[in-house]
Chains A and B, each alone.
Chain A
Amino acid sequence: MSLLRYELSDEYDDISFLHLPGDFNAASMEELTGVMQSLFAAGRPFVVVDLAEAESLRGAVIGELMEWRRKFIAEIDGEFCFCGASQSVEREIRELDVDKLFRLFPDRRSAVNYFFWEFKGQVDTVILSIPGSLDLVPATRKFIRKVCEAKAYSGRESFQIETIVDELCNNAIEHGASGGGKSIELAVAVGRKKVDINISNGVDVGERNYSDIVSNMERYVESPNTDVCESRGRGLALVKMLSSEFDIDGSENGTCVHVTKIREER
């Protein structure tokens, strides 16, 4: 008797979990087809095939799953992935090159995160308050690069985002929060399609000279320093050239720079 079963997630409206137990083989195909029809009828587009109890995965089963995956993608914009496979089952999957089609995850949580990230546009935001010291900037920029890499941004784009964060932090500290116990506020929202960066130097400049400060910054953006003996004055221009959108404004939190970096590589 097969122990094939499925669960409709209580927590997530559009995710189902399909368990393939033991040595699920061609003899059980009719049962598998019935379950897939039920999942399709339930209208939940994302299927996590949980292989934690699987001893083997036969070609016929994989073929059936591939066919249902195609149907889910074409008709309800869905996707399938595998999770929880033992080493031997994972080896079978890789030897058959099935991992080119079905993403493999170590556990159910990783698979669910994948669906939220790839299909539901989930954005993860890092918020940091950094004391006004340049010495803290390297660790900050490297941390943000690691976050972007963890979210599957390419090495090149992660490096560009690292550069943007570095230049913005240096600028905010030098022209606002340097010394005196002041800090800068950095918020980096990493989504699948773009990264939004907001940085404030935390200094209340007041209405009187706010426009002067912003116009001065804008001047550096549009006309970077061309004096080869001057090491500063190119950072904001570099940020603008690396960014998709760039904006400077002021608020009670100080001078703020907003940058959007739209993802180029997939």
Chain B
Amino acid sequence: MQSKIELVYEDIDGVDSSKLILLQGDLDATNVETVVENVFGLIDEGFVNIIADFKELRYVNSTGLGILLHFSKTAKERGGSFKVCSVNENVYEIIDIIGATTLLDIYNTREEAINSYKE
């Protein structure tokens, strides 16, 4: 049985070409393709400024982290950015151990991530 992951999209007021994605559940090798299809779908539609809200993301493994780095690189190549916010302590530790905190733009809260676009 695959891990459950839900993606909930929200608009971000005042930020061009943007979308916020609330990830709910576990991100791992069994559902990474679903997330890839959805996020690259958004980027292809022109939403190159993306905030991934991890408030309800319980778990992520190395495969999931790998695609987050891929999103970040692709968004930058398209002139935008991929930001992450509200990461729980356990997930943050995994991101940190793998060395991805220097590669991902991570913010404590959704508000901080949104405001970073307006500065």
Contact = CB atoms under 8 A, between A and B. Distances in A.
Whether A and B are associated in the same complex: the answer reads yes
Given A134-B29, A166-B61, A155 B90 contact: yes
A138 B62 contact: no
Contacts of A136: 1
B90 A170 contact: no
Contact of B90 (A135, A159, A230): A159
A231 interface: yes
A170 B61 contact: yes
B91 to A, nearest CB: 9
A19 B2 CA distance: 51
B29 A137 contact: yes
A264 B73 CA distance: 36
B103 A138 contact: no
Chain A, interface SS category? helix
B28 A231 contact: no
A99 interface: no
B2 A138 contact: yes
Interface string A222-266: 001100111111110110011000000000000000000000000
B70 to A, nearest CB: 5
Interface string B11-42: 00000000000000010111010000000000
B81 to A, nearest CB: 14
Contact of A138 (B3, B66, B97): B3
Contacts of B69: 228-229
Nearest to A155: B90
Most A C-beta atoms less than 10 A away, residue of B66, B67, B94: B66
Q: What interface size band does chain A fall in?
A: 20 to 34
Q: What interface size band does chain B fall in?
A: 20 to 34
A170 B65 CA distance: 14
B8 interface: no
B1 A241 contact: no
Interface of A: 134-139, 155-156, 159-160, 162-163, 166-167, 170, 224-225, 228-235, 237-238, 241-242
26 contacts: A134-B30, A135-B30, A138-B26, A156-B93, A159-B90, A160-B90, A163-B59, A163-B94, A166-B61, A167-B61, A170-B28, A170-B29, A170-B61, A170-B63, A228-B69, A231-B63, A231-B66, A231-B67, A232-B62, A232-B63, A232-B66, A234-B66, A234-B98, A235-B61, A238-B97, A241-B97
Given A138-B30, A160-B90, A234-B98, 14 more contacts: A134-B30, A135-B30, A138-B26, A156-B90, A162-B59, A163-B59, A167-B62, A170-B29, A225-B66, A228-B70, A228-B73, A231-B63, A233-B66, A234-B65
